[in-house]
Amino acid sequence: MVQTRPIIVIVGGGAGGLELATDLGHRLGRKGRAQVILVDRNRNHMWKPLLHEVACGSLDTSLDGVSYSAHAMRHGYEFKLGEMCGLDQAEQTITLAPLCDDDGNALLPARTIRYDRLVLAFGSVSNDFGTPGVRDNCYLLDSLEEAELFQRNLINQLTQLDQRGDDAELRVAVVGAGATGVEFCAELHHVMAQAQNYGLTQRQHHALKIILIEAGPRAVPALAARISTSVEKRLAKLGIDVRTQTAVASVEPDGLLLASGEKIIADMMIWSAGVKVSDFVRELGNFELTPSNQINVKASLQSTRDDNIFVIGDAAAYITPEGVRVPPRAQSAHQMASTASKNIRASLRGRSMTPFVYRDYGSLVNLSRFSTVGSLMGNLSKHSWFVEGQIARLMYVSLYRMHQVAIHGYAKTAALWLGERLMRMIRPKMKLH
Ligand SMILES: Cc1cc2nc3c(=O)[nH]c(=O)nc-3n(C[C@H](O)[C@H](O)[C@H](O)COP(=O)(O)OP(=O)(O)OC[C@H]3O[C@@H](n4cnc5c(N)ncnc54)[C@H](O)[C@@H]3O)c2cc1C
């Protein structure tokens, strides 16, 4: 009798999904114990916390991007390119939308894939909270394509700046002073100096006017007040105008209309005011959802209504026994991938599950080359430690290195690190095309 291998399908090859596919590929796929399939709508993986650096042109995507097909071949899983658009929980199948090329020509028809265990790891998207005009007029840092689109338009704007006269300014408005908005502003300020060095513009730093709008009472409102104070001071030093307790009513092609009636004119606008899971999940299946569309999961990371479906990363809503809601962060996705791997393997063998334990190793905000501030060990000790400078920067970078180790192993991560250092000697410090 032919024994069929169980099929594990992971939808979303991001911070959590790619780590999980790699681990299950090594443990089950390579040994023929299961068929592990990763589905993503993109051909290449880029670690999302690097997107603001891609948008500002300070990151080399050719070095940090990972081709799913090549990675799958080396790590014992299969990759299927496509966007999940449907789920049949009774039949245990998912549907992928028809695949088209850039001109809209059909490449592949809609496809169904059967699963024994399904992992939803499709992350989150920007939340516009229903604000009119956001989708049409703002850049969103949701994907590599959007980050690259901003980068190309930034280069175009900088190229035009000198033509527009000696008093011309490039006005950039960023909505949302969470870690993403703050890091983006600092990176943009840094890149302006590079643009001048490379002769893209003759204008000095002060020709770039960055305004950061936040509805809450302080920058990085989710973090401790001491971190906010430090961040606000540093942004002020860079000349970035931070406006807290300022609500945006709508976005128009040439600027932001505030709830107060004031209009902020801007050449480029970025929306980074919060995240939610894409609305398509509302129609997807039988799930318990939060108001931001996250799927409620049990401690095992199985969805509360279907034991064959696991959910990890930003898409999962889990409240710890201590009452802490696990935040949508790369470190949460990383930790969930590891627990999900154990529990998927346990469920296939009929063994008991390991409860997910969230460890908050701290939160760090990286202000480009200027500084890094944050807190360490939020959950491990009763008191978290305020850190800044080189130690904080080292900890910040180590989160990405941990991701690289999880998907490439130690040797290749070391080789990539060496490659980055060499490339820095050869290539310009910003992408100029
Ligand atoms: C600019 C920026 C900076 C950030 N900085 C930090 C930081 O410093 N520290 C930190 O901890 N977190 C940070 N975050 C948050 C962090 O990136 C996310 O919490 C993390 O990436 C979530 O991981 P995930 O696996 O759930 O989803 P993601 O990493 O977002 O991956 C989701 C994947 O699913 C795919 N996908 C989506 N929908 C479908 C579909 N229908 N079908 C097929 N594929 C699909 C996408 O293409 C993507 O590859 C930052 C986020 C941004 C945007």
In this structure, the residue with its CA closest to atom 27 of ligand 1 is 123
User: In the structure encoding, which two tokens stand for residue 165, read together?
Assistant: 């006269």
For residue 385, how many C-alpha atoms fall within 13 Å in the half-sphere facing its CB?
10
Question: Is 3.50.50.60 the CATH classification of the domain at 7-124+277-349?
Answer: yes
The band of 379, judged by pLDDT with boundaries at 50, 70 and 90, is very low
The band of 332, judged by pLDDT with boundaries at 50, 70 and 90, is very high
Query: What pLDDT, on the 0 to 100 scale, is given for residue 73?
Result: 97
Q: Percentage of the chain with pLDDT > 70?
A: 96
Distance 123 CA to ligand 1 centre (A): 5
Give CA–CA dist 358/147, Å, rounded: 30
Which strand (E) or helix (H) includes residue 330? helix 330-349
Give CA–CA dist 346/354, Å, rounded: 9
pLDDT digits (tens, 9 = 90+) for 52-79: 999 998 887 777 789 999 999 999 999 9
**What is the rounded average pLDDT of the residues 165-172?**
86
Give the domain 127-272 fold.
FAD/NAD(P)-binding domain (3.50.50)
**What is the rounded average pLDDT of the residues 331-344?**
97
Distance 430 CA to ligand 1 centre (A): 24
Query: What pLDDT, on the 0 to 100 scale, is given for residue 378?
Result: 58
User: Which of 222-231, 375-384, 395-404 bottoms out in mean pLDDT, i.e. has the lowest?
Assistant: 375-384
Give CA–CA dist 89/115, Å, rounded: 10
> Under a CB-based contact definition with an 8 Å cutoff, are residues 413 and 405 in contact?
yes
Q: In the predicted model, what is the mean pLDDT of the chain? A: 91
34 CB near ligand 1 (under 6 Å) = no
293 CB near ligand 1 (under 6 Å) = no
Q: Is 416 left (phi over 0), alpha (psi -120 to 50) or beta?
A: alpha
Q: Which atom of ligand 1 is nearest to the CA of 96?
A: 42
The band of 380, judged by pLDDT with boundaries at 50, 70 and 90, is very low
Give CA–CA dist 151/192, Å, rounded: 12
Query: What pLDDT, on the 0 to 100 scale, is given for residue 109?
Result: 94
Q: Percentage of the chain with pLDDT > 90?
A: 70
Indicate the domain borders of the chain.
7-124+277-349, 127-272
Q: Which atom of ligand 1 is nearest to the CA of 85?
A: 41
